[in-house]
Amino acid sequence: MKLVVDKTKCCASGECVKICPTKAITIVEGKAQIDMSKCDLDGICIPACPQRAIDYLDES
């Protein structure tokens, strides 16, 4: 499982950056980017996004 950003939806509001407790999200070239080595998958960034651009991706 990981968190992914839909870059077609992301408007770089920065709300996810502010709320992430592990500082896993940065804005890179105008889009949110999640560093999965820092992410603990708590998912609080999902409802924080005004564009609903972040969601879980089950790779299994």
Q: How far is the CB of 20 from ligand SF4 (least distance, A)?
A: 3
Q: Using the minimum distance from each CB to ligand SF4, give the nearer residue, 25 or 60.
A: 25
User: Does 45 interact with ligand SF4 (rule: CB under 6 A)?
Assistant: yes
**33 token code pair:** 């980017």
Cα separation, 28 vs 16, whole angstroms: 13
Task: Supply 44's token pair.
Answer: 């609080």
Report residue 21: phi and psi, to 5°: -70, -20
- Residue 49 interacting with ligand SF4 (CB under 6 A): no
Residues at the site binding ligand SF4, with contacts judged by CB under 6 A = 3, 19-20, 22, 24-25, 34, 39-45
